[in-house]
Chain A
């Protein structure tokens, strides 16, 4: 049986999550491997969310926000982009192929684009194989990482 990856997709509420909803209302089918987690803005996505997902068993992480210039909160997507570029460097040092992470802009009208992206990224991660087979971020201090 071919390997079925697990993918977590962090989507901003205003553009990308709405775009994903549009894929649904338009009945456009895409990979069920992609599990969506909603945030209000892609600027909220902490690098630790992505690392947490990889540690909990995700084979790939997709991050989607509004197109440049369209952020509901003016510039959260730019902040997301900056953190994402840095995060790709960090995961490389952890032995994770940065191709397991992807950042894309998806607008509220791009249901079709989101579905295609979900399929393409699933395929990309499938080609990379299970993360556990290469390097799994091991939990060093129990399950929970948050402080207080």
Chain B
């Protein structure tokens, strides 16, 4: 117990009308006054506002408060704000307790009387708890001046260059053999129609050549420990079977390789060899062997055509995966997206009808470096005379992905332009709504309409090759309803492009599990705050860039990549970070050396001092989960800020009537 009875200030927020329209804030104030130790209790329109904060600061000074309870929004929102209020008045930031009467009361309760009753109970719990709060000391640790970036698409590339140009070390980890991501596979970019490769490949080369960037391709993050400022990341590099230090990228091995398999980079529309460079401008521009397709690995000892072809002796058929651990101060997750590949594709004949393409297949078809060298042709090599572009495949559909993928309308309009330009074919766009919110996007939409693309509002029911009239013979028939005129339509075309939505990449889920970042129902990583902290995660020192956070276009991705980099650099510039003081501690006089807690700690923060026969917690390693405290039969381990007496008082408070 504190030597002097604490003087508690209680502040009940109206949050405009968010709280006060449901909860009777005056009644909460009145109830707070009845609790022992409460010296001040007030309600206020916006406690988080500058005058609200000043009000608390003044009370701390004039009313000699030493504990503050704020009944307002979630502590996840404003705990930091009110901790800083205390700090400014020389009070420990741990003397604040927030009561969540917005997210967990006024917003979820219908009956005002019961909402008020709940607010009073929660406030009472906080008042009783805060009396037992202790002035914990935040530890200050130095920040390791290096950043780990996971994912080598445009988001990761932009973040890497921003950090590296600021003079800090970057480890850029990419799962595939090259950086570039999806952007490297596109031909043109909307709405400017500038060439994707022309703007991306110089950046890729800068990454490859930058003295501050360690590029780790064919690599994945497999484990991480530590905390903001000091993460230890374990990165596994798969066997490449080619020594990239020796390899001069001449390509002789590729020419000699006898095995041809579908190219992932070309969406299977072209073949690559078992030893390959994914595309001509790949970085690093050196081959790797795909062991699953390689003849040598299927029949051990056979083939070795690449070994024989290589003049510098760079082929290493005995190569094995390697793990390495790097220390970094911050992590940027830039794991990107995956195009929707779900059952809606089959509904529209993809895989069954040969001239039905997905948007990414079409991107490759249209790409000058793609399988047809940029000619838009049907499978039989002929030029299409009519093309249908179906919007929202997998998107805005409760059966697939409920959300809008944000980029499909715009790239579909881009396709219309490219088809018209290259083939002169008639283009039919079937859309639900055209969404063109972006700089020069609406103008681009106008331009495509003026170019004569047919825009039909209506979702397509099916694509079929069953003709019911002569002009449908040998064609793909798009069956739809024009939702403006309510006409049922059958449009015969030569080619159908499915504008697939963006889905969370499987890698995003894997990496978010490693990093312990939460993902939402669609698999995208949850940001710290949807509006005010869209680049941060709930985990300090881990930032987000690009589509791993949600679908976005290239400008937004680049902006977020730079934003994530600047947050990492902010840490490095500060050089030191404060780490939570909410750690465990053993009260040695109560420890009976039972050692039950010793094996429980997931961070190996607990050790046993054999000489003194006492358990010791290493507070630098401890993350404050409290599982040791929960297990200690003698109550000798204290989980600070969540101590038994604090918890018991809170429980008494929520139940008191």
Contact = CB atoms under 8 A, between A and B. Distances in A.
Contacts of A109: 518-521, 526
Nearest to A72: B516
A74 B631 CA distance: 16
Contact of B538 (A18, A35, A58): A18
A35 B647 contact: no
Contacts of B516: 14, 70-72, 74
Interface string A51-63: 0110011100000
Contact of B648 (A27, A29, A74, A145): A145
Interface in A23-82: 23-25, 27-30, 32, 35-41, 43-46, 48-49, 52-53, 56-58, 69-76, 79
B518 to A, nearest CB: 4
Contacts, number: 157
A119 to B, nearest CB: 11
B144 interface: no
Interface string B614-657: 00000000011111011100010001001011011011101111
B620 to A, nearest CB: 16
Contact of B651 (A28, A56, A115): A56
Contact of A40 (B114, B117, B539, B624): B624
Contacts of A144: 645, 648
B107 A44 contact: no
Interface residues of B, number: 57
Nearest to B518: A108
Which of A6, A25, A44, A76 has most B Cβ within 10 Å? A44
Given A49-B651, A53-B655, A79 B114 contact: no
B625 A43 contact: yes
A75 B590 CA distance: 26
B655 A56 contact: yes
A83 B76 CA distance: 28
Contacts of A35: 118, 121-122, 125, 654-655
A109 B518 CA distance: 8
Contact of A76 (B102, B104, B108, B627): B627
Contacts of A71: 516
Given A20-B103, A76-B602, A70 B518 contact: yes
Interface in B81-101: 100
Given A32-B117, A72-B516, A46 B538 contact: no
Interface in B130-156: none
Contacts of B629: 44, 46
A39 B602 contact: no
Contact of B115 (A18, A32, A38): A32
Nearest to B118: A32
B75 interface: yes
A108 B526 contact: yes
B644 A83 contact: no
Nearest to A24: B103
A30 B655 CA distance: 18
Given A24-B102, A49-B647, A143-B652, A29 B74 contact: no
Contacts of B125: 35, 37
Interface in A72-101: 72-76, 79, 83
B109 interface: yes
A23 B102 CA distance: 11
B625 A24 contact: no
Contact of B631 (A23, A52, A79, A147): A79
Q: Is the interface on chain A under 10, 10 to 19, 20 to 34, or 35 or more residues?
A: 35 or more
Contacts of A125: none
Contacts of B627: 41, 43-44, 73, 76, 79
Interface string B503-532: 000000000010010111100001000000
Contacts of B590: 147-148
B518 A30 contact: no
B521 to A, nearest CB: 5
Report whether over half of chain A's contact residues are helix, strand or loop; otherwise say mixed. loop
B111 A32 contact: yes
Nearest to A147: B635
B582 interface: yes
Contacts of A57: 655, 657
A45 B107 contact: no
Contacts of A148: 587, 590, 635
B643 to A, nearest CB: 8
B110 interface: yes
Nearest to A28: B108
Contact of A27 (B108, B111, B115, B651): B108
B105 interface: yes
Contacts of B110: 29
B645 A37 contact: no
Contacts of B594: none
Nearest to A115: B108
Contacts of A15: 518
A39 B582 CA distance: 11
Contacts of A143: 652
B261 interface: no
A21 B630 contact: no
Nearest to B644: A146
Contacts of A83: 630
Contact of A6 (B587, B642, B655): B655
A73 B75 contact: no
B600 interface: yes
A79 B656 CA distance: 30
17 contacts: A6-B655, A21-B104, A27-B107, A28-B108, A32-B114, A39-B642, A43-B625, A46-B647, A52-B648, A56-B652, A56-B656, A57-B655, A72-B516, A73-B625, A109-B519, A115-B108, A147-B590
Q: Can you list the 7 inter-chain pairs with the closest CB atoms, starting with the nearest?
A: A24-B103, A44-B626, A43-B627, A73-B625, A41-B625, A108-B518, A74-B602
Interface of A: 6, 8, 14-15, 17-18, 20-21, 23-25, 27-30, 32, 35-41, 43-46, 48-49, 52-53, 56-58, 69-76, 79, 83, 107-110, 115, 143-148
Given A18-B76, A21-B100, A52-B652, 19 more contacts: A6-B655, A24-B108, A32-B111, A35-B655, A36-B100, A41-B627, A43-B625, A44-B642, A52-B651, A70-B513, A70-B518, A71-B516, A73-B602, A73-B623, A76-B627, A79-B631, A83-B630, A143-B652, A144-B648
